Structure 1
Amino acid sequence: MSQTAAYPVDPRIHVDADHLLKLGPKSRAISLLPRQPARSILNGRHASRLRGRGLNFEELRNYLPGDDIRTIDWKVTARTGEPHVRVYTEERDRPALLLVDQRVSMFFGTQVYMKSVIAAEAAAIAAHRVLGQGDRVGGIVFGDSDVAEHRPQRRPAALTRFLSSVGALNSNLRATLRDEPTVALNDVLKQAARIAHTNTLVCVFSDFNGLNEVSEKLLSRLSALNDLILFNISDPSSRELAPNLRLTVSDGDRQIELDSSDPDLSHRIRTALEDRLVQLQSWSRRYGFPVVPLTTAEPTLDQLLKLFGHPGGPR
């Protein structure tokens, strides 16, 4: 009997490509578009900052009754003596780039799920939704020593390859330290900027371990040219650490395992996690991109439905 058959995979701890592919039908109730349901987290102050599809100039023609006067080209009208309007069509292509953190710091959870599982499932649901609405989807999946880049494509086979990368890195996660240097979050953000030139939906699924002042510059640059959404994945223990927990933390270059049974160390860990959230929220207000909270205490789909779902959508 194979090891897999003897010990079935617990989807709260690890997920594979097959599991992620089966999330497709559930994605139809989710919307990541700028025009959001009234109860969506993106409805409100962030809505105007999400561009959605752009407009391409199509033609210049004579004004017709019913045309929006805001489309009148006054220079051409003055030159010809007849009112002319500029006609635009909506861009058909709006690619999405999904950054999925599968580093060892994500292999943690004190409630129901690992942070790495929440990130993998949320990214998979988003990927299915983007492809389902006819747009290109790709991503960057990164672990402690591996980075898999998938350029946005509009093909189911490309989606399968992307989700296979997510599943592979997720399945390899173990609660052990790595000898190799950890992949820095900032390096992945730089890589994303080289792919997402303009008008791309960029979603980052991470606990943002290793966030620093360089991250602010990279995130502001991404949000200036694209639609940026940060999915901040946390565990309830960040508010009150349970005793005898072992946490892996990183400063972006080095990582170390810490024991929360030390009261002073526990306080410093909790403060550092709180400071990270405050920093993200500050940048969110400054640059206008949303920070979406996801927790290990609830199923991924249930959380996304609360945040982005359409009433009565399929579950």
Structure 2
Amino acid sequence: MAGTKARPTAAALAPQGAYCDLGDLLRLRFAARDLQLFARQPARSLLTGGVRTRMRGRGIDFEEVRLYQPGDDVRTIDWRVTARTQVPHTKIFREERERPVFVVVDQRSPMFFGSRTCFKSVLATHIAGTLAWAALNQSDRIGGLIFGDHNQRDVRARRSKHAALELLHQMHDYNRELATPVPDEAITSLETLLADVRRVAKPGSAVFVISDFHDFDTRCEQQLFELARHTDVTLMHVYDPLERELSSNHFLTVSDGEERLQLPAQDPAFRQAYRREFETQLQALTESSRRLALPLLSYATDDDIHTLLRERFGARRHRARG
């Protein structure tokens, strides 16, 4: 039809290259149309709304006043209306329909790496952007924390397109500042960043932490434990296939810009040790998430990320589970 904008194809929405593109992040709203971050289940209590929230805490809003009926909780009687009308009235509350969605995006130097399709830093921005648009589509408040090697920027959770746009712009700016995968010694640790998340994420928020978790340790687990006491945390691990396994049977030359080193990639023992290093780190993260009962999702830079996100958060999947 003339004047109708065509919906971008899946290939056009896929993350690519060493740096993210702001236009691509804006177009992710099309990829988020079929996503539903939280299952909307019918409420099982007469005092709740049509949506049963998973928020921690009371989370209810005043809705109306009606005549008192046998069986109503006497604690909800509206004594002012009752005194004015001389007929008992009770307050009706509806369970809160929205919840803050807080996206934590790692844009530190080690994320600036990729051997296929895109860099880890770009994949993280696409995941975060898709989650942000999906939350906005569900009328949830969206906020976030983007952090680099030495600084960070938090976006206050708001239920508006401006909040999503601010998050996308900040991710784009931080991503464009990356220049090397080799961090300096003063890089901000993941432990410090998780502590900051505890400061800015409001109780009851759904927190999505997107990182390669290269420096995850027991101190990070303690921070996650404290964070998970008042929020619902989902860990989203991103990695590059070359970090998991060497794909060459020849010598590989690596350089930090000043020195060169040859890796004996054809040596089975070296390849096995290389793979074991990755698996050990991932296993530590996996065991920690199990102990804390936190969902852990792992995505590679060459994955069809939007298909995988639909499999996890697709509206049809939630309806089937309901």
Q: Flag whether TM exceeds 0.5 (same fold).
A: yes
Distance 1:295 1:247, change over 3 A: farther
Distance 1:165 1:260, change over 3 A: farther
Task: Say which of 16, 19, 27 aligns to 1:22.
Answer: 27
CA distance in 2, matches of 1:158, 1:142: 17
Secondary structure class of the residue paired with 1:182: coil
Aligned to 2:109: 104
Q: How many residues align?
A: 274
CA distance in 1, matches of 2:39, 2:234: 11
Q: Which amino acid aligns with 2:160?
A: R
- Shifted more, 88-97 versus 56-65: the winner is 56-65
Give the Å deviation of 1:259. Answer: 6.6
Aligned to 1:302: 307
Secondary structure class of the residue paired with 2:145: strand
Give the Å deviation of 1:119. Answer: 0.6
Confirm whether residue 95 of structure 1 aligns to residue 87 of structure 2: no
Task: Say which of 154, 157, 164 aligns to 1:159.
Answer: 164
Q: TM-score, normalised by structure 1?
A: 0.74
Give the Å deviation of 1:224. Answer: 1.6
Q: Which amino acid aligns with 2:227?
A: L
Aligned to 1:56: 60
Give the Å deviation of 1:176. Answer: 5.1
Aligned to 2:216: 211
Structure with higher Rg: it is 2
Aligned to 1:181: 186
Distance 1:267 1:50, change over 3 A: farther
Q: Where in structure 1 are there 5+ consecutive unaligned residues?
A: 1-9, 37-47, 77-83, 249-256
Secondary structure class of the residue paired with 1:203: strand
Asked if 1 retains the 8 angstrom alpha-carbon contact of 2:245 and 2:274, the reply is no
Aligned to 1:198: 203
Asked if 1 retains the 8 angstrom alpha-carbon contact of 2:55 and 2:99, the reply is no
| Aligned-residue identity in percent | 30
CA distance in 2, matches of 1:165, 1:180: 24
Distance 1:177 1:53, change over 3 A: same
Distance 1:150 1:221, change over 3 A: same
Give the Å deviation of 1:126. Answer: 0.4
Task: Say which of 143, 147, 155 aligns to 2:152.
Answer: 147
Aligned to 2:137: 132
Secondary structure class of the residue paired with 1:138: strand
Distance 1:163 1:177, change over 3 A: same
RMSD across aligned positions (CA):
3.5
CA distance in 2, matches of 1:181, 1:60: 58
Aligned to 1:287: 292
Give the Å deviation of 1:203. Answer: 0.3
Q: TM-score, normalised by structure 2?
A: 0.72
Confirm whether residue 241 of structure 1 aligns to residue 246 of structure 2: yes
Q: Which amino acid aligns with 1:193?
A: R
Aligned to 2:175: 170
- Shifted more, 11-20 versus 100-109: the winner is 11-20
